[in-house]
């Protein structure tokens, strides 16, 4: 059994929620331009690798889940729609 992750302060959560897409686009654009000079039309490959590495790092660092396994456990409700209904 793994321990639950410590809650992230709201201000820090808002900061990363607002700025992570902007930073992600900026980093990917920089990789695209730099790789484009070397790889031409294949510049999308390193761009996508960097994109998914950044997404994984953000999920790992700022997710409320304690482990990656807990994020991919089977749905607790319906197989098709697993979200909880608002009451």
Q: What is the mean pLDDT of each run of 10 residues along the chain (87 residues)?
A: 58 71 91 94 95 85 66 67 58
Model confidence, pTM: 0.61
Question: What are the residue ranges of helices labelled H in the chain?
Answer: 10-39, 44-62, 68-71
Q: Give 42's contacts (C-beta < 8 A, 6+ positions apart).
A: 35
Q: So what's the pLDDT on residue 1?
A: 45
How far apart, in Å, are the Cα atoms of 58 and each of 29, 54, 64, 81, 84? 18, 6, 11, 25, 25
Q: So what's the pLDDT on residue 66?
A: 61
Q: Give 44's contacts (C-beta < 8 A, 6+ positions apart).
A: 32
Domain boundaries, the chain: 8-38
């Amino acid at each position: 059994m793994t321990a639950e992750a410590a809650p992230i302060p709201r201000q820090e959560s808002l900061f990363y929620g607002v700025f992570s897409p902007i930073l992600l686009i900026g980093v990917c654009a920089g990789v695209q331009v730099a790789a484009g000079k070397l790889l031409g039309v294949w510049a999308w490959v390193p761009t996508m690798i960097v994109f998914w590495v950044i997404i994984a790092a953000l999920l790992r660092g700022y997710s409320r889940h304690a482990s990656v396994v807990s994020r991919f456990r089977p749905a607790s409700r319906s197989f098709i729609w697993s979200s909880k209904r608002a009451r």
